[in-house]
């Protein structure tokens, strides 16, 4: 097998016994890096330290990750004008915080036979937040709900 020493230099091709003896003399581990290569490649390293550094890299990359939150605001198909304005204020607050908002209109009972009422309701809401947000796609039915996604500009 081909052996790489702790400094990253090639130690040459040797048997498993020789490689293990060298690793033990330096109080390090012999780690197989590329088993499919001809001959297989092994590296002499401190495996515990290697795993620790890998874990640190993963944590560091997560730290710089941003989570996209989707807030949902639900309206009934017969919600009054004042209540719509109240909900629009919530939507505006979410959009100002750069959060995406899913506006849903739910239908009860036989209200489902009039989806145009829900479309009209969503149209009113979108019109009131048009200055700070845009819709992503058209309003669509999802079971007994009609929804649209509003994203900040």
pLDDT digits (tens, 9 = 90+) for 17-60: 999 999 999 999 999 999 999 899 999 999 999 999 999 999 99
In this structure, are residues 112 and 149 in contact, taking their beta carbons and an 8 Å threshold?
A: no
The reply to whether 13 and 77 lie within a common domain is: no
The reply to whether 75 and 10 lie within a common domain is: no
The reply to whether 52 and 79 lie within a common domain is: no
Q: Which residues pair with 148 in a beta bridge?
A: 103
The reply to whether 78 and 58 lie within a common domain is: no
Structural domain harbouring 54: 2-63
The reply to whether 82 and 53 lie within a common domain is: no
Whether 77 has a pLDDT exceeding 90, the answer reads: no
Both structure tokens of 3: 């052996």
Q: Could you report the per-residue pLDDT of 83-131, keeping only the tens digit for each?
A: 999 999 999 999 999 899 999 999 999 999 999 999 999 999 999 999 9
Q: What are phi and psi of 68, to 5 degrees?
A: -95, 115
Q: How many domains does the chain have?
A: 2
Mean confidence (pLDDT) of the chain? 92
The reply to whether 75 and 143 lie within a common domain is: yes
pLDDT of the residue at 64 = 81
The reply to whether 58 and 76 lie within a common domain is: no
The reply to whether 47 and 94 lie within a common domain is: no
In this structure, are residues 148 and 127 in contact, taking their beta carbons and an 8 Å threshold?
A: no
The reply to whether 90 and 130 lie within a common domain is: yes
User: Which has more confidence, 68 or 150?
Assistant: 150
Whether 134 has a pLDDT exceeding 90, the answer reads: yes
The reply to whether 75 and 21 lie within a common domain is: no
- CATH number, domain containing residue 89: 3.30.110.10
The reply to whether 59 and 116 lie within a common domain is: no
The reply to whether 94 and 42 lie within a common domain is: no
pLDDT of the residue at 68 = 77
pTM of the model: 0.58
pLDDT of the residue at 66 = 75
Select from 47, 63, 79 the last residue of a domain: 63
- CATH number, domain containing residue 23: 3.10.20.80
């Amino acid at each position: 097998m081909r052996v790489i020493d702790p400094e990253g230099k090639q130690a040459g091709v040797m048997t498993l016994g020789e490689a293990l003896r060298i690793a033990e003399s330096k109080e390090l581990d012999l780690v197989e890096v590329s088993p499919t290569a001809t001959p297989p490649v092994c590296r002499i390293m401190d495996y515990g330290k290697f795993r620790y550094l890998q874990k640190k890299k993963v944590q560091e990359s997560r730290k710089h990750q941003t989570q996209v939150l989707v807030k949902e605001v639900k309206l009934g198909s017969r919600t009054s004008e004042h209540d719509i304005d109240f909900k629009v204020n919530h939507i505006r607050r979410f959009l100002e915080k750069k959060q995406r908002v899913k506006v849903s209109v739910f239908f009860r009972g036989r209200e489902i036979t009039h989806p145009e009422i829900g479309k009209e309701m969503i149209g009113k809401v979108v019109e009131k937040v048009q200055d700070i947000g845009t819709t992503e796609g058209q309003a669509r039915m999802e079971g007994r709900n009609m929804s649209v996604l509003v994203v900040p500009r």
